[in-house]
Amino acid sequence: MGFRPVHAGLYIGSQSLALAVMERHQRGYRLNTAQMAELPSGLIQPSPASLNIMDPGEFQSHLQRLIEPYKAFKKISLSLPDPAVRAVRLSLPPESIKGKDLDHWMRWQMEKVFLSPLGNAKVVHQRIPSHQKGVLAVTIQQDILEQYEEAVRRLEIEPIWVNISSFQLFNFYHDLILQLAGPPGRFMVLNLFDHNFTLMIFMQGAMDFIR
């Protein structure tokens, strides 16, 4: 006997919270807990430009009621509403641009696309493996990210991975989607969670467009 590793994920939406707790076994993972909790209308207002949690105290109470009975973990992955971030597919930067220059280049390119300064926003990017040589860039304002992370930390749980719902869904169904798409690898992914609209278009199995 012994303690099995526990893995937890939390989805935060404008209308609800969802918690999934998995236990790892020799042959993979087993779902231990799956719970949802409705949120009052207007408590979470996803936006890339302003704070998302309108009443941090009330949100904290809903979050604690959901997690407290199953708090057998100290780390968790977070899935945030898509509108909390801005995402865009860019052309791959020149190989000579590296380090801090690469971060400045990414910010400059994103500001041209979004027609607004990024300020103190956090920017992350991931190279898209395709012949078209692209990069997926995502930005979120630091104070928005901190709102979500601090709410979890107050429960003595550390957020170790933060993503948005569209990317989480695609990662979860990745193998099945590619199998159904066949060799051409051309397909669309449409996410309508929480009255949100996110469209991703893939060519040859690689992201070609996101809006």
pLDDT at position 3 over 50: no
Token pair, residue 96, equals 């000579």
* Phi, psi at 73, each rounded to 5°: -135, 155
The residues spanned by each domain of the chain are 6-84+136-210
Within 8 A by CB and 6+ apart from 57, the residues are: none
Question: Is the whole-model pTM more than 0.75?
Answer: yes
Query: 202 to each of 116, 139, 170, how far by Cα in Å?
Result: 27, 21, 11
Predicted pLDDT of residue 169: 86
pLDDT at position 122 over 60: yes
Contact 73, 159 (CB under 8 A): no
Token pair, residue 64, equals 């604690």
Q: Which residue has the tokens 């590296």?
A: 98
Within 8 A by CB and 6+ apart from 131, the residues are: 204
CATH architecture of the domain 6-84+136-210 equals 2-Layer Sandwich (3.30)
Q: What angle do CA 74, 77, 83 make, to 5 degrees?
A: 140
How do residues 140-195 score in pLDDT, each as one tens digit? Answer: 999 999 999 999 999 999 999 999 999 988 888 888 998 998 888 899 999 988 77
Range 93-100 contact pairs with CB under 8 angstroms and sequence separation of 24 or more: 93/135
Of 56, 19, 62, nearest to 40 by C-alpha is 62
Binning pLDDT at 50, 70 and 90, where does residue 5 land? Answer: low
Distance, CA of 82 to CA of 166 (rounded, Å): 7
Binning pLDDT at 50, 70 and 90, where does residue 2 land? Answer: very low
Contact 203, 186 (CB under 8 A): yes
Contact 86, 48 (CB under 8 A): yes
pLDDT at position 4 over 70: no
Amino acid, res. 72 = A
